[in-house]
Amino acid sequence: MPESFLPTHPVVTAYPKMPEAFAEAQAISSFLKKKGLDAPYGSLYDEELRKRVRNGEFDMLIVLGGDGSVLRAGHLCAPSGVPIFGVNLGRLGFLIQVDRKEWREYFEKLLNGEAWIENRMMLRAEHTRAGESLGHSNALNEVVVARGQNLRPVRLTALVDTRQLTSYVADGLIASTATGSTAYALAAGGPILPPELRNILLVPIAPHLSVDRAVVLSEGSSVSIVVRSENAVLSVDGQPPTPLMEDDSVNVTAADVTAQFVRFGDPGYFYRNITAHMNENSLGFPR
């Protein structure tokens, strides 16, 4: 088993668009205070609280919400090395192990030293034009180069370690982490990867007369996605898209920061979660 994890300075955050999240956050804060841990609570978007996280005042961030909230928490916490404890108030919760009805049980386990830290690779995406960097950002799930509002597909070339892999005529191309393999990449037909892998997964979106298979790249690979047509955009972890011009490149590598998650039980929890989600999702369809 991995080494156990026991925090001493946690903070509780809530997704502000879920009113019930603040009530749960207050309840968790009070629960931890009774256990001898001072755990302030507030909105995940509160800038003063976020500054305290970035300054390293806390050794664990508890986030109440769904997978989207956990993604935002990952972007905030990874640079400071702060582990994330997610409590699921959303629908799917692929990134979250603990449900809202179970948190008391799991906090008891945490305080008994039964938790461990799972490290997940993030990606760094850099947008370049004519050799000049126009900005970069990190992704926990995926980097997507896709068509904009125009319905025409885009033409893209993918290079791996500076060598051309293939060209695509498609709605887009996803460069995903193992974490993101259960997100957009899964919806686009990609495989599910174990979360501890440090590979980059390339998945085309609705390819037209192009390679239609996903490609799993070896650890440490770098990918350049070169735009060969107009009307393309870049989106990182579902954030608002950035317009791209023809011949722009999006260069994707492993980030130098890692998202850390508080986990319980053996690492096989991931496959049990996947099975539960798949079975739950299939209930809405006739068999």
Whole-angstrom distance, CA of residue 93 vs CA of residue 8: 26
Q: Would you call 247 a catalytic residue per the annotation?
A: no
Which of 38, 46, 59, 67 is flagged as catalytic?
67
Evaluate whether 71 touches 238 at the Cβ level (below 8 Å).
yes
CA–CA gap between residue 260 and residue 152 (Å, rounded): 39
Tokens representing residue 210 in the block: 């192009």
CB 250 within 8 A of CB 243: no
Q: Which residues lie across from 96 on neighbouring strands?
A: none
| Residues in a beta bridge with 41 | 12
Q: Where are the alpha helices (DSSP H) in the chain?
A: 19-34, 47-54, 67-77, 103-111, 184-187, 269-282
For residue 88, what are the CA distances in angstroms to 16, 57, 105, 275? 14, 24, 14, 17
Write the DSSP assignment of 229-280 as a string of letters. Answer: SSSEEEEETTPPPEEE-TT-EEEEEEEEEEEEEEEES-TTHHHHHHHHHHHH
Cα distances (Å, whole numbers) of residue 183 to 6, 33, 56, 90, 252: 30, 36, 30, 15, 18
Q: Cβ(188)–Cβ(205) under 8 Å? A: yes
Which value, in Å, is the radius of gyration of the alpha carbons in the chain? 20
Active-site residues, by number, are: 67
